[in-house]
């Protein structure tokens, strides 16, 4: 009898909890929602966050406010997001860095990406392009590999900083081709791009969104792309795989998460809103024109993907002996 009573009570408690979650999700948002972006305004992550915030406001009728908190390659903003209440009123919109790279570079990240977030969706992804100045003697990626094998640690590769996607793609490229080069970190993508165009550095793996305008302007020459298939906006550029280089499929990506403990029904509601926003006829074509690929993964897919990416970049960083300094 006691066992039966305990079972009945547990069932009632579960039903009550589920009903409370449904009621909470239905009422949300009752106050402004902060969409925390760990980078300055104007970049790809900030732009994706603003697209989502505008569409969320249309769908839910509330206020969604962008809060840019740059610093430490996104880790300052990630630590802030971790400390926020798990009530749906703080959402974290970030690129891959804070999710799968930053914590491997320092022991003082202030958060654990495997434990401290509920993952909602990878919104978009975009590959990197190996680019050289238009007057470079290197016409193909095979030229680059041949030069590096003949001249170890001579060819320079610019990046936006230690541990960034362009840096780690170069490190992965060297590891997979058994070559070496010189990493030249800058304090951001803009100065790295300026010196590349000016010929002060030899090459870089830059995001396709940044590369395309300068390629079309005749300032840069693309040699290969890190996507699984050729990009429709750079159809003449071969993939790494086509060029015979295996294991260098790389995407930069933007995603949305929340502090751990987000109510399940609200997570479902937010994921559906992401899918709707990204597939909006006023949004999707513009993203595709910029070189983004729509992902809109489920929370379960994002959680699995994050764990795999985390392990992948951990290995690259350890083999390359990369630090945040």
Domains of the chain, residue spans: 29-125+252-320, 127-225
pLDDT > 60? residue 166: yes
How many CB atoms sit inside 10 A of residue 124's CB?
Answer: 25
pLDDT at 112: 96
pLDDT at 1: 57
Q: Indicate the pLDDT class of residue 18, thresholds 50, 70 and 90.
A: very low
For residue 3, what are the CA distances in angstroms to 7, 33, 148? 6, 44, 72
pLDDT tens digits, one per residue of 210-248: 899 999 999 999 999 999 999 999 999 999 999 999 999
Long-range interactions of 108-113: CB distance < 8 A, separation 24+:
109/75, 109/78, 109/79, 110/75, 110/76, 110/78, 110/79, 110/82, 111/75, 111/78, 111/79, 111/81, 111/82, 113/78, 113/306, 113/310
Rounded mean pLDDT, 39-50: 90
Q: Indicate the pLDDT class of residue 44, thresholds 50, 70 and 90.
A: confident
Predicted TM-score (pTM) of the model is 0.85
pLDDT at 19: 46
Q: 322: Cβ–Cβ under 8 A, 6 or more apart, which residues?
A: 105, 162, 163, 167, 168, 171, 316
Rounded mean pLDDT, 197-213: 95
Tell me the C-alpha distance between 224 and 278, whole Å.
27
pLDDT > 70? residue 274: yes
Tell me the C-alpha distance between 125 and 99, whole Å.
14
pLDDT at 160: 85
Tell me the C-alpha distance between 255 and 241, whole Å.
26
Indicate the CATH number for domain 29-125+252-320: 3.40.190.150
Tokens matching residue 112: 């654990």
H/E stretch holding 286 reads helix 284-289
Nearest CA among 203, 230, 226, 189 for reference residue 145:
203
Tokens matching residue 179: 């070559």
Q: Which CATH architecture has domain 127-225?
A: 3-Layer(aba) Sandwich (3.40)
Cβ atoms of residues 293 and 125 within 8 Å: yes
pLDDT at 14: 53
How many CB atoms sit inside 10 A of residue 82's CB?
Answer: 21
Tell me the C-alpha distance between 279 and 289, whole Å.
14
Tell me the C-alpha distance between 43 and 58, whole Å.
23
Same fold for the pair 29-125+252-320 and 127-225: yes
For residue 213, what are the CA distances in angstroms to 141, 191, 227? 21, 16, 18
pLDDT > 50? residue 73: yes
Q: In the block, which residue shows the tokens 């074509």?
A: 285
pLDDT at 36: 97
Q: 37: Cβ–Cβ under 8 A, 6 or more apart, which residues?
A: 45, 46, 49, 66, 67, 68, 69, 77, 93, 94
Q: In the block, which residue shows the tokens 């006829």?
A: 281
pLDDT > 90? residue 96: yes
Q: Indicate the pLDDT class of residue 111, thresholds 50, 70 and 90.
A: very high
DSSP E strands: which ranges in the chain?
33-37, 64-68, 90-95, 117-133, 156-159, 182-185, 203-207, 220-225, 251-259, 293-294
DSSP 23: H
pLDDT at 24: 53
């Amino acid at each position: 009898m006691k066992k039966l009573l305990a079972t009945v009570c547990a069932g009632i408690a579960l039903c009550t909890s589920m009903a409370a979650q449904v009621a909470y999700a239905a009422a949300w948002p009752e106050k402004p929602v902060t969409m925390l972006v760990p980078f300055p305004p104007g970049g790809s992550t900030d732009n994706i966050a603003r697209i989502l915030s505008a569409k969320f406001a249309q769908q839910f009728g509330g206020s969604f406010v962008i809060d840019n908190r740059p610093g430490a390659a996104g880790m300052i903003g990630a630590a802030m997001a971790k400390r926020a209440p798990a009530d749906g009123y703080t959402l974290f919109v970030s690129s891959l860095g804070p999710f799968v790279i930053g914590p491997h570079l320092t022991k003082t990240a202030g958060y654990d990406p495997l434990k401290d977030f509920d993952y909602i969706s990878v919104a978009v992804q975009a590959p990197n392009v190996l680019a050289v100045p238009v007057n470079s003697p290197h016409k193909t990626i095979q030229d680059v590999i041949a030069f590096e094998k003949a001249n170890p640690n001579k060819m320079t590769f610019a990046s936006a900083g230690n541990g960034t996607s362009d840096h780690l793609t170069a490190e992965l490229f060297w590891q997979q081709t058994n070559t070496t080069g010189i990493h030249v970190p800058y304090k951001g993508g803009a100065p790295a791009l300026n010196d590349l165009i000016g010929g002060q550095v030899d090459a870089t793996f830059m995001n396709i969104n940044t590369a395309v305008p300068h390629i079309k302007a005749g300032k840069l020459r693309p040699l290969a792309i890190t996507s699984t298939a050729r990009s429709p906006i750079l159809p003449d550029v071969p993939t790494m795989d086509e060029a015979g280089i295996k294991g260098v499929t790389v995407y930069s990506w933007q995603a949305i998460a929340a502090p751990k403990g987000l109510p399940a029904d609200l997570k479902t509601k937010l994921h559906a809103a992401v899918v709707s926003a990204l597939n909006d006829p006023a949004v999707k074509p513009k993203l595709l024109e910029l070189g983004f690929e729509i992902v809109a993964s489920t929370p379960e897919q994002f959680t699995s993907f994050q764990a795999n990416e985390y392990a992948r970049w951990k290995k690259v960083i350890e083999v390359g002996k990369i630090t945040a300094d």
